[in-house]
Every structure is written in structure tokens, then in C-alpha cells.
Amino acid sequence: MDVRKMFAFLSLAFLLLLAAAPEAPAVSAIVSISPGGDGVFLLTGNAINNLDNMVLTVTYDPATMENLFFQEGEFVGGGTASATSSGPGNLRITVRLSEPKTGNGTFAKITYTPKGGPAGQIISLKGTLINNRAVEMPTIYQELYIAAPVETCFDLARDINRGREESRDVRPAQASLSRLGGVLGITFETPQGQDNVGAQPFIELLVETRSKLREAKQFALADSIRARLTEMGVALEDSPQWTTWRFQAPEKA
């Protein structure tokens, strides 16, 4: 066979192999919202690759935040960014960059006036990131504010349990726990004659939250949730597939 024809054939075969080879899994971008000081939340991005535009929706508790003000971050520099409210408790943020950007940085700074307490409560963060090929980027969304309401729930539950043991009036604490549970989408109604049933949705949420924190490598917060659950009489058992839980005698402080 002619050497030039053989070289051409091998080149074509190599190109066909490249075309048929599966693409390497894309690295997920990470978009986080976290407290940035009193009356401030920061929207940040990590592992961003050729971002062209994005839309983010921040859901917050309007009973804890008012007078929200949006300011674009340094990552958006040279592009356009805007924020609109689609109703009480919802903030829609739209960003279009002047050119595709890669790296880490702050997308936006959200300031607010606390209402009914020292800090605002974020409920969820969702969105869509589009790269320079008009393809949606795989993205992990992290709400790093979540430790505050979770720890508050633990503190209230512990105070309620101790108050009952000391024959104190726990109704104000129960009302506070019910309000905070409403923010997190939890109810604490216990059917008559079925102890602990009302706590189960709350425990399931905490177990799920802990799993997400472990996936995000937020191990300190995940360990804090496990320790608090143990104090309250809930034992967790981890396996490679999932985490199970059961009631046990609570640890004494």
C-alpha cells in the first residue's frame, strides 16, 4: 500500500475514534448564596467555565427581610445585570456578560433590612447558567445560610424538651418553632396517640440537608447536625447508598 494512502487512512481512523469517544464528564459549576455580614447576602460562583448568561431565582422569607437592594459583583464587570421581584419572597436575577468568562467570583451583593429578627432567611436558590455554546452548564446550587435556621430549630426543640421536664410553659417556644418550621415547609402536627410522628418530617429534612452538606464537603455543618440529632435522641447510620435514622434515648447535656 502507498505510504501516503496508509497515513491518510490512519489519520481518518484516528479522527473517527476521537469522534466516537465519549466526552469527559463536565465539571459542575458551583453557585452559592451565603451571609456577607449584617444585612448582606453574597451570590458567588466557582468553577465557572465560559459563562455567557444566567438567570437565578432567590426565594426568601419576606417576614424576615425587606427593602432588598441588588448590586452586581466584580465577576459581572463589563456585562449587564438586573434584578426583579416576581412577588413577595422572590427575587429574579438576570445576567448577560459582555464576553464569556471563566473562573471564580462574586455575581451579586444583596443588601436588605432585617425584619422581625437579627437576620434574613433564604429559602432556596435555583437557576440556569448558559455557556458560550448556548448549552446549559451543569451546576450545583448551595444555600450556605441553612445552618442558621437549622441551629435555631435545634435550640428551640431542646428548650421545649427541657421546659417540659421542668414543668414550664413551653407554648411560646412551640409557637416560634412552628413559625420557623413554616418557613422550611415543615408542620409539627402529631396525630393523637402517635408519639414522635410530628417530628418525622423535620428529621427527614435534617437528614437530607446533612447529606447535601456532605456532598458539598461542608463536613463541619454536617457533623453539627448529626451531633444535635444525637442530643435529641435520633441516631443516624450511614451506608454507601443512604443514611437511615431511628429514635433512641437522648443524650443528657
Residue 42 in contact with residue 34, Cβ under 8 Å? yes
Whether residue 227 lies inside any domain: the answer is yes
Res 145: pLDDT: 53
Q: Are residues 156 and 243 in the same domain?
A: yes
Tell me, yes or no, whether 153 and 133 share the same domain: no
Domain end position, chosen among 143, 178, 207: 143
Answer yes or no: do 128 and 197 share one domain: no
| CA nearest neighbour of 48 among 79, 91, 90 | 79
Q: CB under 8 Å to 230, separation ≥6 — which residues?
A: 236, 250, 251
Which of 106, 123, 143 is a domain's end point?
143
State whether 131 and 226 are in the same domain: no
For the chain, which residues score pLDDT lower than 50?
A: 1-25, 146-147, 190-194, 253
Indicate if 233 and 184 belong to the same structural domain: yes
Per-residue pLDDT tens digits for 79-133: 888 899 877 889 999 999 999 999 888 999 999 998 877 778 888 889 999 999 9
Give me the pLDDT at residue 27, please. 59
Asked if residue 193 belongs to a domain, the reply is yes
Are residues 43 and 108 in contact, defined by beta-carbon separation less than 8 angstroms? yes
Whether residue 243 sits in one domain with residue 152: yes
Tell me, yes or no, whether 125 lies in a domain.
yes
Amino acid in the structure at residue 165? E
The whole-angstrom separation of Cα 187 and Cα 105 is: 38
Domain span holding position 226: 147-247
Is 252 domain-assigned? Answer: no
Count of the separate structural domains present in the chain: 2
Which residue, 115, 143, 171, sits at the end of a domain? 143
Specify whether 174 is located in the same domain as 235. yes
Same domain as 188, residue 86: no
